[in-house]
Structure 1
C-alpha cells in the first residue's frame, strides 16, 4: 500500500488504498477518538466495531484510562452490542496490558523510591490536593482534591479519588500519576529516566513509569500474538498517541486531533470524534460495513 509522508498533516484520503493484508488487530484511543457525547457519532463507532469483530478482526482499546473507567464511560450497552469486554487492551498509557482472556501481560508500577521523593515534593510545596495516583482500576489521592480538580474530573467523567495515607499508597501498585495547577520540579528525578511525562488534552499532565508508553505496551500486546506493530492499525488524537501513530499501519488521526498527532499519522481523517471518526477509519481499512 502506498502511503503519504508519515509526518504530513495533509494526508489526502482520496489516495488511500485498502491494505492488501488487513490488520488482524486495530488499536483505538478513547477520549477525543472513540468516545463522544454525540449519541449518533458514538453509535456509528460502536456499530463499526461490532461489524469488524463479526468479521474476525480484533479492535482493542488503547487508552490513558483504566478498563473500569473506560467501560463506565461507554455504558452497559457497549459490551452487549460489541461483545468486547476490554480484553485484549492497553490501559493507563501503557502501564497495564491485558490479553484476550483478561490476564495481565504487563503491569509497570512506580518504585518506592520515586513515590517517596514525589510525595516529599508534594508536602514541601503544599500541592498534594492537585495530584491523583492511579492503580490498575482505582484512583487515590493523599488529600481531598481541590475544587478545580473536582470540577475537571466531573466534566470528563472521571471518578473522584479516595484519600489515603502515604504508607497505604506504598502498598499499592501505582501505575500512573496525574497532576495539574502547579509546576513540577524534581531535581533528584530525571524525566525520561525516572519517569515519562505527557500532556493530556484536559490541561493536565500524566506521569508514567520509565519506559512506559502506549507504543511500548501495544508492541508487548502485538508481539504476544507473534506479530509486530506494522501488522496493527491505530487511531488516536493526542500527545500520548504519537508513538503508536508512527509505528502502526495503517494509522489515522481524527480531524479534531492535535497537530503533532496529525503529523505523526499516515492519514488524517475528514471526520471528528463527534462525527464517528472511528467508523470512518475502520471502513477505510476493512471495506464497507
Structure 2
C-alpha cells in the first residue's frame, strides 16, 4: 500500500461521475481493481449515493461486495444481504411532498417520487427517459396525487423527491423549500435543472460515520471517492479524500488528491496507485 496519512481500512465511493465510466457502467478495469483490493486487503467497499437501492445493488453484485449500502444520500442504509436489514430509515412526510406537487403542478417540471425500491412518475417524459438510461431502472407510472395518497394511507414517508426541468422554475422551488420547509427536508441543486429533496438528517458524511462506527473503523482510516458538492463533507472528514478530475473546484479543494476523470477510470487508477496493484 502506498504511503498515506493513516492505513486505509475502509473505502467509500459515490457512483455517478465517480465509479461509473462514460457509458454509466462499471469498466472492466474498475471491477478488477476493486476486487483486488478487497481480496488482498479485506477492506470494506461501501457504495454511497443519492440513488435508490436497486439502482445500487446490481453494481454491488457485479463487484461481488456484501458491505452495507448507503442509498438516498443516507436516507436509507441497509445491509447488502438477502434480508436487507435496515440500519437507518429517514423519510420526508407526504405533507411536504404535497406542497412540492402543489408548487409545481401548473409547470412542466418533472416530479419523481421514491420510496425504498419504488419509483413513481406520471409519464415517460424526457426526464424519466434520462433517469432510466442513467440508472438502468424502470419506474412505475401513476399520478403524483394518487401515489402520495396511497403512501399517506399506509403511513409511509418519501425517501426522495426529484424535480427536473426549467432552471428558473427549479430555482424558485429551491427558494420555496428553504423558506417553507427548512426544518422538514433538505433541498439540493445537483444541476441547474435538478433539485433533489431528501429527508432532514440525510448527509453523506453523517451516513458515512454511522456505517464506519458500526464497522469499527475510524474516519481517519477511511478513503472516500466523490465528484460533486454533496461529497464535500465526506471527502473532508476521511483520512484520504479523492476528488475525481471532473469535479468542480470546490470539491477538488476538499480532497487530499485529485484523480483522473471518471471517463478515464480515475477511481481504478487511484486504487492501483494507492494499493500498488
| CA spacing shift, 1:237–1:187, aligned 2, 3 Å | closer
For residues 236 and 19 of structure 2, the distance between their equivalents in structure 1, rounded to whole angstroms, comes to 19
1:167 is matched with which residue: 149, 155, 170? 149
Count of residues paired in the alignment: 261
Root-mean-square deviation over aligned CA pairs? 2.7
For residues 269 and 79 of structure 2, the distance between their equivalents in structure 1, rounded to whole angstroms, comes to 26
1:133 is matched with which residue: 113, 117, 120? 113
- After TM superposition, the structure 1 stretch with the greater mean CA deviation from structure 2, 37-46 or 113-122, is 37-46
Which residue of structure 1 aligns with residue 201 of structure 2?
211
Question: Gaps (5+ residues) in structure 2?
Answer: none
- Matches of residues 192-271 of structure 1 in structure 2 within 5 Å? 193-201=183-191, 203-269=193-259, 271=260
Query: What is the DSSP-based 3-state SS (H/G/I as helix, E as strand, rest coil) of the residue aligned with 1:208?
Result: strand
- After TM superposition, the structure 1 stretch with the greater mean CA deviation from structure 2, 148-157 or 206-215, is 148-157
- After TM superposition, the structure 1 stretch with the greater mean CA deviation from structure 2, 163-172 or 179-188, is 179-188
Question: Gaps (5+ residues) in structure 1?
Answer: 1-16
For residues 95 and 129 of structure 2, the distance between their equivalents in structure 1, rounded to whole angstroms, comes to 31
- After TM superposition, the structure 1 stretch with the greater mean CA deviation from structure 2, 150-159 or 213-222, is 150-159
Query: What is the DSSP-based 3-state SS (H/G/I as helix, E as strand, rest coil) of the residue aligned with 2:113?
Result: strand
When normalised by structure 1's length, the TM-score is: 0.80
Deviation for aligned residue 1:47 = 0.6
| CA spacing shift, 1:278–1:257, aligned 2, 3 Å | same
Structure 1 residue 107 corresponds to structure 2 residue 92:
no
When normalised by structure 2's length, the TM-score is: 0.83
| CA spacing shift, 1:51–1:187, aligned 2, 3 Å | closer
* Higher RCO (C-alpha 8 Å, min separation 6): 1
Answer yes or no: is the 8 Å Cα contact 1:41–1:275 preserved in 2.
Answer: no
- Matches of residues 1-289 of structure 1 in structure 2 within 5 Å? 18-19=3-4, 21-37=6-22, 42-55=27-40, 56-72=42-58, 74=59, 79=61, 82-85=63-66, 87-99=67-79, 101=81, 102-123=84-105, 125-126=106-107, 130-141=110-121, 143-144=122-123, 147-157=125-135, 158-164=137-143, 165=146, 166-170=148-152, 171=154, 172-181=156-165, 182=169, 183-184=172-173, 185-186=176-177, 189-191=180-182, 193-201=183-191, 203-269=193-259, 271-285=260-274, 287-289=275-277
Answer yes or no: is the 8 Å Cα contact 1:18–1:284 preserved in 2.
Answer: no
